[in-house]
Structure 1
């Protein structure tokens, strides 16, 4: 399974750090973690992908699902610091236009 760190900053923004491979095996856990954050009232979320070594279509699906959930709750989901492998998948699928990667976690909502 994947290790997922979850914190909330002083502005009430949830920061989620999936560590490892975000694939069909780990995507349900990531999706559930993100949905639980929104259900608990944290609708603005940054997914820090600096420690995500691989991303497949199931992982993309988990991120898009969480994006929709966050937006329905009046928030948003942003991604930050994707690895080159993750960025390649985002570019190949054109999802870098929807999930626009940010250079820093701090800059995801403040830039």
Structure 2
């Protein structure tokens, strides 16, 4: 049985976190992009993408993370950090070269 996916925004002043839980796949990617738009509308100076409770990441999820990173850059967000997830999720990001795309891993 697939883990239920969830996307949440946590705002703390000028820091905004996008917390991803469960399987981030083709069925969740559109929701992730909607939340990314909401997050950017709050004009944060820093974003943390929290993958700590993400159990799976497919190419659609990777694409959504790239789109978020690109949109954040265009919106003038100063820093986009990544909170690492389990090794299987981080392996996917490493294979496609995304771990170097984010400002740092926290």
TM-score between the two structures when normalised by the length of structure 1: 0.82
Structure holding more strand per residue: 2
Structure 2: which 5+ runs fail to align? Answer: none
How many angstroms does 1:95 deviate by?
Answer: 1.6
Give 1:2-41 correspondences, 5 Å limit.
Answer: 2-10=5-13, 12-41=14-43
Contact 1:43–1:70, Cα closer than 8 Å, also in 2: no
Deviation at 1:13, TM superposition (A): 0.8
Structure 1 stretches lacking a partner, 5+ long? 105-111
* Number of matched pairs: 102
Kindly indicate whether the alpha-carbon contact (under 8 Å) linking 2:80 and 2:103 is maintained by their aligned counterparts in 1.
no
Give the conservation status (yes or no) of the 8 Å contact 1:13–1:45.
Answer: yes
1: CA distance between counterparts of 2:34 and 2:99? 22
CA contact (8 A) 1:78 1:100 kept: yes
The runs of 4+ residues in structure 1 deviating greater than 2 Å are: none
Q: Residue 86 of structure 2 is aligned with which of 59, 65, 83?
A: 83
Question: Residue deviations 1:66-94, cap 9 Å, x none?
Answer: 11111111104321122111111011112
1:7 deviates by 0.9
